[in-house]
Structure 1
Amino acid sequence: MEEGVLFQWSVFRSLLAILQWWSFNVTVIIMNKWIFQRLDFKFPLTVSCVHFICSSIGAYLVIKVLKLKPLITVEPEDRWRRIFPMSFVFCINIVLGNVSLRYIPVSFMQTIKSFTPATTVVLQWLVWRKYFDWRIWASLVPIVGGILLTSITELSFNMLGFCAALFGCLATSTKTILAESLLHGYKFDSINTVFYMAPFATMILAIPAILLEGVGVVLWFQTHTEIFSAMVIIFSSGVLAFCLNFSIFYVIHSTTAVTFNVAGNLKVAVAVLVSWLIFRNPISAMNAVGCGITLIGCTFYGYIRHMLSQQPPVLALCMMSQDGLFVYAICLDRRGSRARCDKYTSLLR
Structure 2
Amino acid sequence: MEESKLCQWNVIRSVLAILQWWGFNVTVIIMNKWIFQNLDFKYPLSVSCVHFISSSIGAYVVIKVLKLKPLIQVDPEDRWRRIFPMSFIFCINIVLGNVSLRYIPVSFMQTIKSFTPATTVVLQWLIWKKYFDLRIWASLIPIVGGILLTSITELSFNMLGFCAALFGCIATSTKTILAESLLHGYKFDSINTVYYMAPFATMILAVPATLLEGPGVVEWIYTCPSLFSSLVIIFGSGVLAFCLNFSIFYVIHSTTAVTFNVAGNLKVAVAVTCSWLIFRNPISMMNAVGCAITLVGCTFYGYVRHMLSNQAPGTPRTPRTPRGKSELIPLVNEKLDDKI
Q: Compute the displacement of 1:187 (Å).
A: 1.1
Partner of 1:16: 16
User: Is the contact between residue 190 and residue 245 of structure 2 (CA under 8 Å) also seen in structure 1?
Assistant: yes
- Aligned residue-pair number: 327
- Which structure has the highest strand share of the two? 1
User: Is the contact between residue 17 and residue 251 of structure 2 (CA under 8 Å) also seen in structure 1?
Assistant: yes
Matches within 5 A, 1:195-214: 195-214=195-214
Q: Compute the displacement of 1:313 (Å).
A: 2.9
Q: Which stretch of structure 1 is more off in the superposition, 307-316 or 73-82?
A: 307-316
TM-score of the two chains, using structure 2 as the length reference: 0.94
Greater length-normalized contact order (CA 8 Å, ≥ 6 residues apart): 2
Partner of 1:173: 173
User: Is the contact between residue 191 and residue 246 of structure 2 (CA under 8 Å) also seen in structure 1?
Assistant: yes
Distance 2:2 2:129 in 1: 49
Which letter does structure 2 place at the counterpart of 1:2? E
List alignment gaps of at least 5 residues for structure 2.
Answer: 332-340
User: Is the contact between residue 130 and residue 325 of structure 2 (CA under 8 Å) also seen in structure 1?
Assistant: no
Matches within 5 A, 1:30-179: 30-179=30-179
Q: Compute the displacement of 1:329 (Å).
A: 7.3
User: Is the contact between residue 151 and residue 157 of structure 2 (CA under 8 Å) also seen in structure 1?
Assistant: yes
Q: Compute the displacement of 1:335 (Å).
A: 4.5
SS at the partner of 1:74? coil
Distance 1:239 1:212 in 2: 24
Larger radius of gyration: 1
Matches within 5 A, 1:234-313: 234-313=234-313
Q: Compute the displacement of 1:307 (Å).
A: 1.0
Cα distance per residue 1:19-78 (max 9 Å; x no partner): 000000000000000000000000000000000000000000000000000111111100
CA 1:226 to 1:336, structure 2 compared with 1: closer, same or farther past 3 Å? closer
Root mean square deviation of aligned Cα: 1.7
TM-score of the two chains, using structure 1 as the length reference: 0.91
Where do 4+ consecutive residues of structure 1 move more than 6 Å? none
Distance 1:336 1:305 in 2: 10
Cα distance per residue 1:219-246 (max 9 Å; x no partner): 1011111110000000010001011111
CA 1:82 to 1:90, structure 2 compared with 1: closer, same or farther past 3 Å? same
Distance 1:316 1:161 in 2: 44
Distance 1:316 1:239 in 2: 49
User: Is the contact between residue 315 and residue 331 of structure 1 (CA under 8 Å) also seen in structure 2?
Assistant: no
- Paired-residue identity, %: 83
Partner of 1:330: 324
Distance 1:168 1:181 in 2: 20
User: Is the contact between residue 17 and residue 247 of structure 2 (CA under 8 Å) also seen in structure 1?
Assistant: yes
Q: Compute the displacement of 1:261 (Å).
A: 0.7
Q: Compute the displacement of 1:336 (Å).
A: 9.5
Q: Compute the displacement of 1:83 (Å).
A: 0.6
User: Is the contact between residue 132 and residue 336 of structure 1 (CA under 8 Å) also seen in structure 2?
Assistant: no
CA 1:177 to 1:113, structure 2 compared with 1: closer, same or farther past 3 Å? same
Q: Compute the displacement of 1:6 (Å).
A: 0.6
Q: Compute the displacement of 1:130 (Å).
A: 1.3
Q: Compute the displacement of 1:315 (Å).
A: 7.5
